[in-house]
Structure 1
Amino acid sequence: MPRIVDHEERRGQIADAVERLIAAESLDSVTVARTAEEAGISVGLVQHYFASKDEMLLESFRRVRNRIEARVAARRQRSERAGARIERMLLDGVAELMPLDPARRSEGRVTLAFTARTFGNPGLAEVLRSSNANLRAQIEQALRNALACGELPEPVGYELEAARLLAFVDGLVLHCHTGQRPLSARAAHAMVAAELARLLPGPCDRSR
């Protein structure tokens, strides 16, 4: 009996091949032929699922950002169940954006390559805009919760503060990936931890 093809799985297989090529080489190295070779399928099959290279790139970037957002959300949920401080919850969440292990380092390299292409590419730009908006919303809600439980001593401009924190992390990530010594990924993580400790110094009382 012939195997039933899962079309979403096949699209994912192709998008993953695009991501591997970018991580190992560069975004310019991605072609339909190279992607087919990397995915272990025919050029015709790639073209069946994606009409152009731009469509492949868009799908790959969307999947990368969705994966990051899902990990951040999962971290938050685990921390909430464990009753962790919101300071810790935020640190664990933004750590998913940082090159703290080979997988996240590779993912960050791919994200930066795509980010550079958002100029003049509305599709890629929208993926990044939407993803960052989601991450900022998660940070903003965490800050509101921190005020409610006492970790945040007084109200702040939540939307602006969330944007500032995400921009701070993004800047550190860029420096890590471009080899701006002496900033290592671990040092960058420690800097984020120090900033969150400064912002959220209060005791956490969830009974409030």
Structure 2
Amino acid sequence: MPVRVDAEARRRHIVDAALRLIVRGGLAAATFRKVAAEADLNIGSVRHYFTDHESLVVAVATEVGDRMGRRLTRHPAPASGDRRAARRHLLAVLAELVPLDEERHRESIVLLEIVTASRIDPAFEPVVRQMAADLRQVLTDAVAATGTADPARAAAHLAALVSGLSLDAVTPHGTVDRATVLTVLEDHVGTL
């Protein structure tokens, strides 16, 4: 009798293997051969679920976005009118988007790799644009609850702040530590 494979679980397993490889060696490290070895599968199993490298990388980006989304749902918006609670909520949302622990650190590396690659590889552009739009919407909604006059503009500032802090936290560019990331976010939210 043939072994039954849970297709969705197998696909997630492959995506997780690719994610680990991207964290360790960038997008180029996530070849089908290396992903198959990392997942302890044969290369045909990887090809069964992904037609090419780009579709695998897009699946990794989507998984990272889904993980962030699941974490964000743990922070429901406060009752309207409570600006202090709204600022705490905004800070909690921001904390989910920056590399404050190992999971978010790995996710930030993957996103940075994919965003950078999207500059020259049009296959990644749609997923990167969608991630940026989702980020702006989440931040706009959270900022709006604080009573800020122009939530979209404040969200654009926060998106840039999140991007810059993430870049500095995961690359030698800035070597910003986690405490500094939180302090910068708290200081900025305090100005809203």
CA distance in 1, matches of 2:113, 2:174: 21
RMSD: 2.1
| Of 162, 175, 179, the match for 1:169 | 162
Residue 185 in 1 paired to residue 189 in 2? no
Question: What is the match of residue 80 of structure 1?
Answer: 78
Percent of aligned pairs sharing the same letter: 30
Residue 17 in 1 paired to residue 17 in 2? yes
Q: Is the 8 A contact 1:75 1:92 kept in 2?
A: no
Question: What is the match of residue 128 of structure 1?
Answer: 128
Q: C-alpha offsets along residues 147-175 of structure 1, whole Å, 9 cap, x if unaligned? A: 2xxxx4xx22x222211111111111111
Instruction: Name the CA shift for 1:113/1:182 in 2 (closer, same or farther; >3 Å).
Output: closer
CA distance in 1, matches of 2:3, 2:78: 42
Which has more radius of gyration? 1
Q: Is the 8 A contact 2:54 2:123 kept in 1?
A: no
Question: What is the match of residue 5 of structure 2?
Answer: 5
Read off the aligned partner of 2:100 and give its amino acid letter.
L
Q: Is the 8 A contact 1:69 1:131 kept in 2?
A: no
Q: C-alpha offsets along residues 71-127 of structure 1, whole Å, 9 cap, x if unaligned? A: 12x2322x638x871111111111112121122112211111111111122332211
Question: What is the match of residue 203 of structure 1?
Answer: none
Specify every segment of 5 or more residues in structure 2 that has no aligned partner in the other structure, as ranges: none
Residue 37 in 1 paired to residue 30 in 2? no
Question: What is the match of residue 97 of structure 1?
Answer: 97
Read off the aligned partner of 1:186 and give its amino acid letter.
A
CA distance in 1, matches of 2:172, 2:120: 27
Instruction: Name the CA shift for 1:89/1:50 in 2 (closer, same or farther; >3 Å).
Output: same
CA distance in 2, matches of 1:57, 1:124: 8
SS of corresponding position for 1:15: helix
Question: What is the match of residue 109 of structure 2?
Answer: 109
Deviation at 1:185, TM superposition (A): 2.2
CA distance in 2, matches of 1:180, 1:49: 36
CA distance in 1, matches of 2:123, 2:88: 34
Equivalent residues in 2 for 1:147-158, closer than 5 Å = 147=147, 152=148, 155-156=149-150, 158=151
Read off the aligned partner of 1:65 and give its amino acid letter.
G
Question: What is the match of residue 70 of structure 1?
Answer: 70
Read off the aligned partner of 1:163 and give its amino acid letter.
A
Deviation at 1:49, TM superposition (A): 1.2
Give the length in aligned residue pairs. Answer: 189
Q: C-alpha offsets along residues 18-67 of structure 1, whole Å, 9 cap, x if unaligned? A: 00111122221121111111111111111111111221111111111221
